């Protein structure tokens, strides 16, 4: 999705700074005239600062930041090692904080700028069992963004949240499932959730990521000024059910097909 977003903006005449941990591996974006690739790891603040310096030197200023990086740690909390818990928070929450804090002085000095944070329907509601850590990270991102509104609005700095459901991506390939060779109580629900998550990333089962890309573009250009934008039928259905049903009824309905 990040790559499609970069290409979409470039196609519409924007200068795009595409960032990634290993830019030497990128072969496509480097060939597009108004896209330049920079090295950046959101868990390493010094790389963010270096990238910002290089981007401003290349393009003069920055108008919009899209916080798109994210990972998913799934599985029973009891089985999840501390390192996975810390990494889930470090990427999905602290990483976004690192980016915002680095670029805020630039936005503040020019009295303009936008942060578009890619959240998830799971930032508003659980949508899949065994996602407590991923839920936590996206709930935190929602709270961070909403809380920042008050301090950034007077500076003419906008904040937006994009909340997709399932969409075709390589996210499923990067999901880590916590498992145990000795504790078997979670095996059934884990196998069912893992199969569901993999199936949800197939093109026939999910939204086309271009829907999300266009949402990001509309926010960047001011066509939309929404704080939150839900993308995808599945995401909208989950949030509608959550709104309509008592919370325990909603959770039991959601989890029924995954339980014993």
240, 254 in Cβ contact below 8 A? no
For position 108, what pLDDT does the model report?
98
Name the average pLDDT for the chain: 92
Helix-strand-coil split of the chain, %, nearest 5? 55, 15, 25
Domain range summary for the chain, segments of one domain joined by +: 62-258
CATH class of the region 62-258: alpha beta
**Catalytic residue (one of 74, 134, 186, 217):** 134
Q: Is the pLDDT of residue 145 over 80?
A: yes
For position 170, what pLDDT does the model report?
55
DSSP for 36-100 reads EEEE--TT-HHHHHHHHHHHHHHHS---EEEE----EEEE-GGG--HHHHHHHHIIIIIHHHHHH
65, 99 in Cβ contact below 8 A? yes
pTM value surpassing 0.85: yes
**64-67 and 113-118: which strand pairing?**
parallel
| 27-46 per-position pLDDT tens digit | 899 899 999 999 999 999 99
217 is annotated as an active-site residue: no
**pLDDT confidence bin for 197, thresholds 50/70/90:** confident
**pLDDT confidence bin for 199, thresholds 50/70/90:** confident
| 57-91 per-position pLDDT tens digit | 999 999 999 999 999 999 999 999 999 999 999 99
Please enumerate in sequence order all residues whose Cβ is within 8 A of that of 16, keeping only pairs 6 or more positions apart, or say none.
Answer: 6, 9, 10, 34, 35, 36
**pLDDT confidence bin for 182, thresholds 50/70/90:** very high
For position 255, what pLDDT does the model report?
87
């Amino acid at each position: 999705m990040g790559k499609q977003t970069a290409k979409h903006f470039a196609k519409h005449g924007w200068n795009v700074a595409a960032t990634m941990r290993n830019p030497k591996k990128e072969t496509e974006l480097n060939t597009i005239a108004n896209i330049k690739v920079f090295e950046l790891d959101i868990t390493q603040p010094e790389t963010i600062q270096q990238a910002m310096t290089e981007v401003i030197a290349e393009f003069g200023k920055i108008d919009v930041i899209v916080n798109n990086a994210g990972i998913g740690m799934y599985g029973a909390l009891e089985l999840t090692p501390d390192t996975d818990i810390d990494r889930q928070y470090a990427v999905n929450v602290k990483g976004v904080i690192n980016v915002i804090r680095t670029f805020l002085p630039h936005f503040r000095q020019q009295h303009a700028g936008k942060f578009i944070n890619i959240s998830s329907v799971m930032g508003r509601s659980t949508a899949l069992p065994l996602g407590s850590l991923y839920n936590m990270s996206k709930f935190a991102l929602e709270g961070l963004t909403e809380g920042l509104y008050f301090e950034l609005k007077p500076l003419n700095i906008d904040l937006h949240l994009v909340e997709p459901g399932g969409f075709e991506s390589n996210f499923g390939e990067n999901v880590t499932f916590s498992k145990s060779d000795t504790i078997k109580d979670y095996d059934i629900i884990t196998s069912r959730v893992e199969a569901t998550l993999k199936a949800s990333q197939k093109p026939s089962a999910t939204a086309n990521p271009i829907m999300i890309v266009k949402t990001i573009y509309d926010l960047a250009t001011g066509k939309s000024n929404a704080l939150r934008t839900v993308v995808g039928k599945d995401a909208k259905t989950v949030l509608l059910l959550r709104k309509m049903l008592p919370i325990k009824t909603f959770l039991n309905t959601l989890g029924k097909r995954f339980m014993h």
